[in-house]
């Protein structure tokens, strides 16, 4: 098992906690539900990292084959889930800015803004990897952008 399963699970629980507290105190919460949906799309794709590192480390051929089959089934959806995450987060940002204005002095808005730039580059690196250059350098970049996206999302939840 990869430690990332645990980390992803914790981030998911944190997101649910924040969303529940947000929805409880706001009269208008479409922007929060959009943020949550975009987050779910991201964490679904990022779990591919947990599955891949489990395949690399797990004992037993049968287990490896089972996980590899599962990840192969998900593969065709990966690109659209990632692109969808970005589009939904754009709607989240649009709804937030309509509500509060584009105030980068607000840490929640600043951290969200940085996270969505990261997400944009992550999605671009994915398409680049698929269509232009699948070499190891781009693969590493794609994974590192996933890690920084994970961290920025956690920072976004902190404020």
Identity of the residue, 25 or 62, whose beta carbon is nearer to ligand HEM in the bound complex? 25
- Six-digit token string for 130: 């698929």
Binding mask 21-60 for ligand HEM (x = CB under 6 A): -x---x----xx--xx-xx--x--xx-xx--x--------
> What's the CA gap between 90 and 38, in Å, rounded?
9
For residue 45, give the nearest of 123, 128, 121 by alpha carbon.
123
- Cβ-count burial 29-38 (b if 16+ within 10 Å, e if not): bebbebbbbb
Would you give the distance in Å from CA 130 to the centre of its chain?
A: 18
- Six-digit token string for 84: 């969808």
Stretch that binds ligand HEM, among 5-13, 62-70, 87-95 (CB under 6 A): 87-95
Under the rule (CB under 6 A), what is the footprint of ligand HEM? 15, 18-19, 22, 26, 31-32, 35-36, 38-39, 42, 45-46, 48-49, 52, 75, 78-79, 82-83, 85, 89, 92-93, 96, 100, 108-109, 112-113, 115-116, 119, 122-123, 126-127, 129-130, 139, 142-143, 146, 153, 156-157
């Amino acid at each position: 098992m990869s430690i990332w399963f645990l980390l992803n699970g914790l981030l998911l629980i944190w997101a649910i906690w924040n969303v529940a507290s947000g929805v409880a105190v706001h009269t208008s919460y479409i922007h929060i539900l959009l943020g949550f949906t975009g987050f779910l799309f991201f964490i679904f794709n990022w779990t591919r990292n947990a599955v891949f590192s489990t395949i690399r480390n797990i004992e037993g051929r049968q287990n490896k084959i089972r996980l590899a089959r599962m990840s192969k089934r998900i593969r065709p959806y990966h690109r659209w889930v990632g692109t969808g995450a970005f589009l939904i987060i754009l709607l989240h940002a649009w709804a937030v800015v309509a509500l509060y204005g584009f105030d980068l002095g607000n840490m929640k808005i600043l951290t969200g803004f940085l996270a969505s730039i990261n997400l944009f580059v992550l999605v671009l690196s994915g398409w680049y990897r698929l269509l232009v250059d699948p070499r190891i350098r781009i693969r590493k970049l794609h994974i590192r952008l996933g890690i920084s996206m994970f961290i920025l999302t956690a920072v976004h939840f902190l404020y």
